[in-house]
Structure 1
Amino acid sequence: MNNTWVLVANASEARLFNLIKSDLERVKSFSHDESRMKGEDLASDRPGAYQSDVNREGHGSYAEPTNPKEHEKDRFARELADILNKARSENQFNELVIVASPHFHGLINQHLDDESSKKVSHHIEKDYTQVEDGDMLEILLPYLRPYLKE
């Protein structure tokens, strides 16, 4: 099978397309609502507090090790990368084009395995998640032209 998949994503939603001849066919859509939530809604409560020995003055609070919102973005990136890694191992695509906002693009790249990373033929650091499916090919045409089959 000789085909190209195109992942269009940001931290809260993603669409996976298969480039067939000169058309993009949606394979699947993904949503991660937690990435849209406010940080304080994601954390269980305020940071824990501590007090030093009774005879000594001192107290403070523990800082959160990671921002809850950033953690959710990373979780979604890992989920998408796991799907791509599995699909690559099942030979569902030969080439992969990743279209994502710069920061989220980096998160996805961190979670792709080595073999899947080798399949990425083009990186587009833009957020095109608001583009309608029917308009996606036209928007991405300058990047996808080498992969189009007549």
Structure 2
Amino acid sequence: MAITWILVANASLARLYANLGPKQGLQLVKEIAHPESRMKNAELSSDRAGQMQAGGSGHGSREQQTPPKLNAARSFAQMLAKELYLGRSRNLFGRAILVAPPAFMGMLNATLDGPTSQMVTDRLEKDYTKSSEPTLCGRLESCILV
């Protein structure tokens, strides 16, 4: 039976588990924290908007198009996608399950490469990062044989 990787993540914390087969439960492979995603927008950006010369005599200021907190979450999603890519390229798992809140799931899906994305058999749009392993097993029983 192929090893299943289960990525349980939100924008600031991820846990990667392995399920080795029926009645094997979950084994924690890696835990990855991303404290930048917990910071406030003001803490992630400079003190004030940049100044630019406007056409005419007035001055304008430029607002950032994307909030810094959103950029931090996207950066974390890219980091996790790379982790899954490396695991796939090293044949460390045969299939994957993603568990993340809807907004972060969208970021993960957008950053996964094609072959890795094809190995994802289930996607659960929930935040189970605070769940214990036994609770997580119960919530994933429809996806894996624990």
TM-score, normalization: structure 1?
0.90
Identity %: 42
**Count of residue correspondences:** 144
RMSD value, Cα: 1.5
The runs of 4+ residues in structure 1 deviating greater than 6 Å are none
Aligned counterpart, 2:142:
142
Aligned counterpart, 2:51:
49
Take 1:64 and 1:28, find their aligned partners in 2: how far apart are those partners?
34
Aligned counterpart, 1:26:
28
Take 1:51 and 1:97, find their aligned partners in 2: how far apart are those partners?
50
Take 1:58 and 1:38, find their aligned partners in 2: how far apart are those partners?
31
Take 2:27 and 2:52, find their aligned partners in 1: how far apart are those partners?
55
Q: Higher mean Cα deviation, 72-81 or 59-68?
A: 59-68
- Cα deviations across residues 109-133 of structure 1 (Å, max 9, x unaligned)? 1111110000000010111111012
Shift of 1:59: 1.2
Aligned counterpart, 1:14:
14
Aligned counterpart, 2:39:
37
Rg (Cα) greater in structure: 1
Take 1:143 and 1:91, find their aligned partners in 2: how far apart are those partners?
20
Structure 1: stretches of 5+ with no match in the other structure: none
Shift of 1:51: 3.7
Take 1:52 and 1:121, find their aligned partners in 2: how far apart are those partners?
52
